[in-house]
Amino acid sequence: MAITLALLGLPHRVIPVDRAAGEQRRPHFLAINPAAAVPAILDRDPGLPQPLALAQSGAILLYLAEKAGRLLPSSGAPRARALQWLMQALTDVNPAASLVFMGRHGLIPGMTAETQGFLDARLARFLRDAEAALDGQDFLVGDLSVADLALYPIVVHRWKDADIAARYPRLADWAARVAALPGVAAILPLP
């Protein structure tokens, strides 16, 4: 979210939420997202009839792109493709990556090496889809879009587990391109 806000040049303040301390369950945060999960935004734009509290990373990314009129094609097939990749990043790649993380950090009860192998292979399948999408183009749907910005943190966080640099050369080059965008490396650099 911070990356998208920075790239769009929208004025904002990032407020870290200490989840280990349960801050997401405190009243001041629940007023913004009653589901007690990050990310969430509070848009106090005076042009709005009232401040907008919004959760779910996909909804937030779409809202910010539409607000700024950038990072999302406005109509037709280009927009549909960008939405497809946004959903693919958030509903395929991200859950697979989260399970790999949980498996490797002892957060899945009864975890075995076989199950970890299954989870690793599942993530690898989704990463291969992204690798294929980047054949012949710099970003997932041609121009930079919120789909790239949804996928980038997932790829960065699983960089070593999934052996991105060695196994997915186009994805690694793409990540370097995203990392080189203004302000991105200061927020989330490549490992």
Ligand X SMILES: N[C@@H](CCC(=O)N[C@@H](CS)C(=O)NCC(=O)O)C(=O)O
The C-alpha atoms of residue 96 and residue 19 are separated, in whole angstroms, by 21
Residue 168: C-alpha distances to residues 13, 132, 133 (Å)? 34, 9, 12
* Residue 84 binds ligand X, judged by CB under 6 A: no
**Closest to 45 measured CA to CA, from 53, 55, 37:** 53
Fill in the per-residue mask, 89 to 108: x = in contact with ligand X (CB under 6 A), - = not in contact: -x------------------
- Sites for ligand X among residues 56-75 (CB under 6 A): 56-57
**Helix H or strand E encompassing 76:** helix 76-87
CB of residue 38 vs ligand X: minimum separation in angstroms? 4
Binding mask 138-157 for ligand X (x = CB under 6 A): --------------------
Looking at 24, 84, 165, 188, which residue binds ligand X (CB under 6 A)?
A: 24
In the complex, what is the shortest distance from the CB of residue 188 to ligand X, in angstroms, rounded to a whole number? 14
Instruction: Supply φ then ψ for residue 58, to 5 degrees.
Output: -65, -45
Which of 14, 19, 52, 167 forms a contact with ligand X (CB under 6 A)? Answer: 19
Total binding residues toward ligand X, as defined by CB under 6 A: 9
Among 6, 8, 38, 185, binds ligand X (CB under 6 A): 38
Nearest distance in Å: CB 137, ligand X: 25
> What is the 3-state secondary structure of 25-73?
HCHHHHCCCCCCCCCEEEECCCCCCCCEEEECHHHHHHHHHHHHCCCCC
Question: Residues 113 to 132: which contact ligand X by CB under 6 A?
Answer: none
Between residues 71 and 94, which has the closer beta carbon with respect to ligand X?
94
Nearer to ligand X, 90 or 175 (CB): 90
The Cα diameter of the chain in Å comes to 54
Q: In this structure, is the dihedral angle defined by the CA atoms of residues 21, 26, 28 and 33, taken in order, positive or negative?
A: positive
Residues that bind ligand X (CB under 6 A): 19, 24, 36-39, 56-57, 90
